[in-house]
Structure 1
Amino acid sequence: MCSYRRRLLVAPALLCVLVGLVARPADAAGDGKGTSGHNGTGTGGDSTLSAQVLKLYEDAAVATGRYEAGRKRAEVQRAKALRVEALLDRERREIGVMHKDLGRIARAQYRNGGGVPLTAQIILATSPEQLMRGQHVFSQANLAVANSIEKSRRAEVRLAGDEARAAAAWQVLEKRNSELADLKQGIEDKLEEARWELQGKADVSVAAGSCPGAVRLDQKETDSTSAWVTPVARYELSAAFGSGGKRWAKRHTGQDFAVPIGTPVRAVGDGRVVKVACAGAFGMEVVVRHTDGYYTQYAHLASVAVDQDERVDTGQWIGQSGTTGNSTGPHLHFEVRVTPELGSGVDPVPWLSERGAPLG
């Protein structure tokens, strides 16, 4: 360091300034290519935001699982409700039959003298046998009427109870499903907001041509023993290798995976990171050299989770998908190359399939 203890001189002061400028880390100003200068332990970028996106992904998955479980329960309950409705219809029909029976009994009793008072029957009877027969008919008729009325009453009470229980069950089910749907939608809204905030920060870095450094992602342990995996766990395939398009000078050089912003991107196999860049048509990108000599590229990322020269394992998260660079929408651009440079690509689909990681 320079000393100013004795006297302040202009020349030594200027010399100190020049030494200080030369001593600045090279990566602070960037090398123009956007390649990260950190090694292995970088924690640059907005780690809180990346972690928030991952946490919201997990919350959304849990909420979706609960919603789907609730939907399945609703289907089971719907089937039960339909069976209950069928039983209720049968009860209503039985009550209607009972009412008809009561009317029939009443008409028969009237036609057969059931309406004649018991005192008149005693007076008009010509013999004890006739009197007993009349009393028996009268008692049987009254008993039948009483039984029919009681049976009808019980059926109506049971029907009312069944209808009330069925309505209450539906109300509980619909309320629960509505709550689950609101919870799921709320998490998805937060996730979408966080995704685009993450993308906005990535766009700033790419516009500046400078990588913010590795954003370490808290990845849970997996029980996968596969030597090779797909670059994202869930996806839809979009633009294929060799396909034409006005956005490419010649042909598409990789396989695109349509995934939302913030989706964890993983190394397809063991290897070492040979490039981390944040400028140009590919936006944020990572290139990995694998043990078999091939290279894989992961482009248009919204964040990078590894540093150059870092060792990576199969399935390890190396970044989050985005839409940086020359991209029309959120997706992962994945290439397999013979060399680390553009123009040496091979079709990723059969390449992965040959290694036990077919694309669905």
Structure 2
Amino acid sequence: MRLIRRRPLLATVLLCALAVLAARPSDGGDGARAPGHGAPASVSAQVAKLYAEAAAATRRYEAGQRQAARQRSEAQRLEKLLDRERREISVLREDLGRLARSQYRNGGGLPLTAHMILADDPDELMRGQRVFSQANLALDNALEKGARAEARLARDEAKAAAAWKKLEKRNRQLADLKRDIEQKLETARWQLQGQADASVAAGSCRGAVRLDQPETNFTDPWVAPVETYELSASYGSGGARWASRHTGQDFAVPIGTPVRAVGQGKVVRVSCGGAFGIEIVVQHAGGYYTQYAHLASVAVDQGDHVTAGQWIGQSGTSGNSTGPHLHFEVRVTPEMGSAVNPVPWLARRGVSL
């Protein structure tokens, strides 16, 4: 009975093994790339997708904040106009009250005919009455105009305030969406890094995980290796983690940040293990090489030709690294020990860091 059970199990295992071998990416051609290690395409792609979504959500949130600020300023401007209209109407009402009180003190309670009979100069009295009537009419018109303006401003103010509140509500929703995406991205980033660490420990990498890169349309032949960054350890700086001096320029970026080829060239090395963790070396015209180290995943294979700005991997903190960053070197050979200062090298090619 045992023998009968083992044979179907063995056949199943062989079939699974054949399926895995058929499905795995092709090796890059160097001994450092073996199957079975590294980040699955789904995790790398998920990080890239969430990275793009988080950037888009941040842009939408910041645009909403700016729009809400403009709407809030408009509401405040209308409130000031409304206050000014109220003050002007109050002054008009006080003037009307003074005129009415003056008329009453001068016999305003008697009919106009009686005023004419008792007046020393009826013509002068009529002129005074006309002036008062005209002033009263002007005041009534001003009050009516002011009331219309006040009503219009009140409507505009209410409309602006409602629009601002609507924007604030939308911005809260955008903030929640942004926070949710960033939390998912952070989780996916560390999943990717965990698998990168496993690759480094094994000393072997899978084939390239091809990422869907957005249209870039770079017009310059040289670009920075990452789009958004903070410079950290510089070339030649000292530190306990380096044998002598730092041989490159570090870019502090989160895990999963797309890493770009700085210029056109050919991938001459993709390897895992050692102090640099997962690394890529690209050969450029003119006898120079660029190295991209401490990666979490690679998007190219050895022998691939790359263009300026093309995604070649995702940043991480593999190998001898204290935190997420990209270690970038410029060399005169593909090997360690031939590095030159990458900052002036890029500057001479039109890239200021």
1:137 paired with 2:141, answer no
| SS of corresponding position for 1:125 | helix
Residue in structure 1 matched with residue 15 of structure 2 by the alignment: none
1:181 aligns with 2:170: no
Greater mean alpha carbon deviation, residues 154-163 or residues 128-137: 128-137
Q: Does 1:195 align with 2:189?
A: yes
Which structure: larger Rg? 1
Match of 1:350 in 2: 344
Q: Please state how far the C-alpha of 1:131 moved relative to its aligned partner.
A: 11
1:207 Cα offset (Å): 2.1
Query: Quick check: 163-172 or 292-301, which moved more?
Result: 163-172
After superposition, the CA RMSD in angstroms is: 3.4
User: How far, CA to CA, are the matches of 2:338 and 2:99 in structure 1?
Assistant: 96
> 1:235-264: per-residue Cα shift (whole Å, max 9, x none)?
221111100111112110111111111111
The amino acid across from 1:70 in the alignment is G
Match of 1:289 among 283, 288, 299: 283
What CA deviation, in whole Å up to 9, does each residue of 1:40-92 have, x standing for no partner? Answer: xx997311111111112222222222223323323433443343232112112
1:312 equivalent in alignment to 2:306:
yes
Instruction: Output one character per residue of 1:311-352: Cα deviation in whole Å (capped at 9) or x when no partner.
Output: 333332221000111111111001112222221211111222
> Secondary structure, in 3 states, of the residue corresponding to 2:269?
strand
- Relative to structure 2, which stretch is displaced further, 134-143 or 199-208? 134-143
| Alignment correspondent of 1:241 | 235
Distance 1:155 1:51 in 2: 58
Aligned counterpart, 1:125: 117
Tell me how far apart the structure 1 counterparts of residues 236 and 119 of structure 2 sit (CA, whole Å): 112
| CA positional deviation for 1:126 | 4.5
Maintained 8 Å contact 1:232/1:265: yes
Query: More displaced, 296-305 or 342-351?
Result: 342-351
2: CA distance between counterparts of 1:88 and 1:251?
67
Aligned counterpart, 1:204: 198
Which residue in 2 is equivalent to 1:9? none
SS at match of 2:271: strand
**Equivalent residue in structure 2 for 1:300, among 268, 289, 294:** 294
**Residue equivalent to 1:263:** 257
Match of 1:81 among 75, 94, 113: 75
- Answer yes or no: is 1:112 the counterpart of 2:106: yes
Does the alignment pair 1:36 with 2:33? Answer: yes
Deviation at 1:302, TM superposition (A): 0.4
Q: Distance in 2 between matches of 1:136 and 1:292?
A: 100
The corresponding residue for 1:231 is: 225
What TM-score results when the alignment is normalised by the length of structure 2? Answer: 0.79
1:14-61 Cα distance to aligned partner (Å, 9 max, x none): xxxxxxxxxx9xx9xx9xx971158xxx99731111111111222222
Are 1:65 and 2:62 counterparts?
Answer: no
Give SS of 2:90's match. helix
| Matched residue SS, 1:175 | helix
- The answer to whether the 8 A contact 1:34-1:276 is kept is no
Q: TM-score, normalised by structure 1?
A: 0.78
Cα offset, 1:203, TM superposition: 1.5
Corresponding residue for 2:272?
278
Q: Give the superposition deviation at 1:159.
A: 4.9
Contact 1:44/1:214 (8 A) holds in 2: no
User: Structure 1, residues 142-177: CA drift from partner, whole Å, max 9, x if none?
Assistant: 757755664565455445434423322322232233
In the TM superposition, what is the alpha-carbon distance from 1:136 to its structure 2 partner?
7.8
Inter-partner Cα distance in structure 2 for 1:187 and 1:145:
61
- C-alpha distance in 2 between matches for 1:173 and 1:226: 39
Aligned residues between the structures: 326
Q: 1:314 to 1:111 in 2, by over 3 A?
A: same
CA contact (8 A) 1:277 1:285 kept: yes
Identical aligned pairs, as a percentage?
A: 64
1:276 is paired with a residue whose SS is strand
Deviates more, 1:149-158 or 1:267-276: 149-158
Q: Hey, what does 2:10 align to over in structure 1? A: none
CA distance in structure 2 between the aligned counterparts of 1:86 and 1:94, rounded to whole angstroms: 12
Q: CA deviation at 1:282?
A: 0.9
Q: 1:125 to 1:260 in 2, by over 3 A?
A: same
Match of 1:100 among 72, 94, 98: 94
Asked if the contact 1:305/1:317 (under 8 Å) is kept, the reply is yes
SS of 2:172 mapped into structure 1: helix
More displaced 10-residue stretch of structure 1: 82-91 or 308-317: 308-317
